[in-house]
Structure 1
């Protein structure tokens, strides 16, 4: 194996030396080829993902693998290709008309919807990137492009340590290293994802042929050899803060001492996308019974998608202690958790993490199919679930006192100060309630220190949106890494981003028209109890591969039956 790694790194060293001579037009063409490969490889990709996750190929949950695997890779690669084509023509990948003003004088960038197809397929959803304070519209236009603004400058060789949960992560991280930083990449797949090797190689083959990517498998010994190799200049990891610290400072008492003293063992640069404890904050209002059921399914999905093995899974549900519909909502939540399809606990260590959560929380409720609910918690209780990412189907319910803006401030303070990590936060609010709160609601959003915020939309929609930067809130350091350093995805190659804010419809079609949101989106295909999720997601991937009006009726019909 070590001989193979040496050969791969030697090939990448040659590839990265030749990369400056590859024109932007040629790079755009390579990314277009990756997008096409993601679509054509999709059936085999999904089949391999099902084997890795022990998922029955007839389950509706197979839809998760279509949507979280080939779909975001195809969309991201196509958008990167468009970005490089724009830069090659001397234009920025965004236009002045897409820029706006946000809270605190921030510059914002409208990134979704970007086409008529976006408006039809995800009707009612939108996304903005908030730039860091002080970044002007001119700065955004001038800096968009990152390393491709100086394509002859080499970034060296990066090792990407792939994730073991969502199959698109490793490929997306590889694309970003190549395009955003001009780095050649040796991608090591997580052992859990060994089944994905053939698909990853097929999708990345255009960049493999260009000498910029190699894909390997192996355990921690292979990862350690790559991180320590003299040819490697950068490390990117998707995983946990503990894994990050082990790479940067080492393990055991000596590693702890290095971290405490701020003296890293790692001498190379490192970027990271890490997890944390993500909240879903419910803003009180008057909801119908169907609203309660729909939003309960929404909240359950945010925890149970992919079996709970998501860095962006919601682990803490924040509800108003004095909300007169609290009990009805929690009853609906229990019903949705119990009714969600069962699936194998494929991710290593899940059972022990579940047992730990059960033993350390007196209120723990064992629900159907091995899930765990931790109700009745309060801010300031110091519950372990606030500081431990269980990476399994564990959901806590925290009751926060107050009403109106007092509740919003208390909920934001709890999320910011008592929950570990800054990757994402979700907010559920009735549109009429949001309108009544006005500027106070916008101030509430501004106060949340998370890299992606979803309003009536799970933050995973930000993950799926090709142009959205994905990562923790700015400010993390090696010794306090939170949810990671840097961003990925970001297919418009924006510089100095702060967060992405995604908005979605409070109700699905046709009830959405009653809240002044005339969306035609039915129950989203990523909802865990969507009955046609697998077929709808497959049709969606096939659509983005070759969009056309004639494909829409069948796609919409499947979606409506969900």
Structure 2
């Protein structure tokens, strides 16, 4: 039996993608909705197997709290997105905008913001106290936002060709979510190449995409670098979308090694087709000084630990630089609480390839590095110089390494300094986090605070929440702040998720409760959300995650008590 060569395999994948584009052009809106509904049902059916394999990939002990991360960031994120995208398609079928029923308001800089969370009664109950707005680009009017929503689904027959989607290896919902966005929003057929780390999930991905695979509009494959490069370069592949590292992006666009560096310097890309990307970055956690109770200090310290240690730090939006005020009289108490939170979070392996080398480099670069405990890898880099070119400001460690820097000031004075520092010193623009007591928010005023947010150039901004909540919000946009170019790519170009299919999304702003229920009521948040299931200290995260998947598969009042019962024990 003859074995296919790499060029032959690349030809076959590209030919199938070309046939898939033609087939997709014949699929009506209603049929596309039905395919997505079937996809959602298959995700629910495959959820347990999906989590079992992800648990093995990441070296987790089955049925322990860290497995909850796999339920929430894997099948739940995928299922929740599919269900919401179905609603957007249904509105287009009815001749209305996906934005019908969503409020729009003006925000600073000539922008309009559309409120995407909470929207349903389930949002109000399951994510009580959380909200999200998509801020659109300056000059986009409310009428334009509504009339252009739909992207490629506004003309489903006008398919835009073929696309290779390069799946990420860290979060298992990224590959299917990116594929769905390219398929529906960009209106292209999809050749989904898996990251080698997630190759063992191929049977699950093939199972959930079966309706699309049978139609010929999606194919899922594993490959080595040679085949991947051949498919990307194939003339019948019209576009590329990737989630990964800046180094991988540059190797694709400019070429590998010295040749790629020379091409980049000369401005002569090797890749001459459109490429969109989400590439991570160095995410700040800005802590606005205020008068916090001891329980506030402990809770928000655990919040910081979650931003850093979720998925063992192997997240493109993991918090990496903690920005605190040197003028805050509770600074040392808070940093002590952060050290405790990092050390007491449940142990889990630093599973992502290359983590040990990156941690070693971080410790060598910062002589003051502290090994905080919990696992051997957890590292704090205290007292980073805000005026120096610290490696932690430009290197995405993709592991359990947290830097700390201090700036002077209080209130809005400190916050403006922190915004400038984050914009000017930290590499990338994917996500930024702000922790601020409601008392300080009231003191600044809502309009003034929005003006501060306007100046923070990040694709997702989370206030008293982690930007990972933006990833989990199906109607929010997800991607870098607009403006990057191929020769200065940083966090990438374009967005995904964006369940309302907005044409000019600029950023998403997430807001959450400063305190969990029931203490949230003391600050006027009126939130019912206990310790969220994505918190690394949550004791019932695995049970809550599994019940969230079951609920999203078929929402109903009878399922809510089981979800709440588990969540409240967390």
Q: Normalization by structure 2: what TM-score?
A: 0.97
* 2:392 is the counterpart of 1:385: yes
What are the superposed Cα offsets for residues 279-309 of structure 1, whole Å, 9 maximum, x if unpaired?
0100111000000000000001000000000
Secondary structure of 1:21's match? coil
Match of 1:281 among 282, 286, 289: 286
Q: Are 1:25 and 1:88, in contact at CA under 8 Å, matched by a contact in 2?
A: yes
* 2:471 is the counterpart of 1:463: yes
* 2:113 is the counterpart of 1:108: yes
- Name the structure 2 match of 1:397: 404
> Partners in 2 of 1:448 and 1:185 — Cα distance?
34
Counterparts of 1:69-468 in structure 2, within 5 Å, are: 69-95=74-100, 97-368=102-373, 369=375, 370-438=377-445, 439-468=447-476
Secondary structure of 2:209's match? helix
> Partners in 1 of 2:26 and 2:428 — Cα distance?
41
Alpha-carbon distance, 1:195 to partner: 1.4
Match of 1:528 among 512, 515, 536: 536
Q: Comparing 95-104 with 211-220, which one deviates more in the overlay?
A: 95-104
> Partners in 2 of 1:235 and 1:97 — Cα distance?
32
> Partners in 2 of 1:521 and 1:545 — Cα distance?
21
Alpha-carbon distance, 1:75 to partner: 1.2
> Partners in 2 of 1:223 and 1:326 — Cα distance?
49
- Name the structure 2 match of 1:12: 17
> Partners in 1 of 2:468 and 2:476 — Cα distance?
11
Aligned-residue CA RMSD in angstroms? Answer: 1.1
What are the superposed Cα offsets for residues 64-91 of structure 1, whole Å, 9 maximum, x if unpaired?
0000001111111112221111111111
- Name the structure 2 match of 1:508: 516
Alpha-carbon distance, 1:4 to partner: 4.4
Alpha-carbon distance, 1:245 to partner: 0.7
Alpha-carbon distance, 1:441 to partner: 2.1
Q: Are 1:190 and 1:219, in contact at CA under 8 Å, matched by a contact in 2?
A: no
Match of 2:546 among 517, 520, 538: 538
Q: Comparing 357-366 with 94-103, which one deviates more in the overlay?
A: 94-103
Secondary structure of 1:287's match? coil
> Partners in 1 of 2:386 and 2:220 — Cα distance?
45
What are the superposed Cα offsets for residues 358-396 of structure 1, whole Å, 9 maximum, x if unpaired?
000021001210201001113112111001101111000
Gaps of 5+ in 2: none
Secondary structure of 1:187's match? strand
Alpha-carbon distance, 1:7 to partner: 3.0
Alpha-carbon distance, 1:473 to partner: 0.1
Secondary structure of 1:382's match? coil
Q: Are 2:10 and 2:234, in contact at CA under 8 Å, matched by a contact in 1?
A: no
* 2:64 is the counterpart of 1:64: no
> Partners in 2 of 1:521 and 1:432 — Cα distance?
20
Structure 2 CA distance for partners of 1:241 and 1:511, relative to 1, 3 Å: same
> Partners in 2 of 1:282 and 1:440 — Cα distance?
17
Q: Comparing 75-84 with 537-546, which one deviates more in the overlay?
A: 75-84
Secondary structure of 1:505's match? coil
Q: Comparing 216-225 with 535-544, which one deviates more in the overlay?
A: 216-225
Secondary structure of 2:488's match? coil
Q: Are 2:393 and 2:426, in contact at CA under 8 Å, matched by a contact in 1?
A: yes
Matched residue pairs, number?
Answer: 562
> Partners in 1 of 2:388 and 2:368 — Cα distance?
13
What are the superposed Cα offsets for residues 108-143 of structure 1, whole Å, 9 maximum, x if unpaired?
111111200111001000000000000001110111
Q: Comparing 426-435 with 101-110, which one deviates more in the overlay?
A: 101-110
* 2:569 is the counterpart of 1:561: yes
Alpha-carbon distance, 1:96 to partner: 6.2
Secondary structure of 2:185's match? helix
What are the superposed Cα offsets for residues 406-447 of structure 1, whole Å, 9 maximum, x if unpaired?
211110010000000000000000111101011332221111
Structure 2 CA distance for partners of 1:85 and 1:30, relative to 1, 3 Å: same
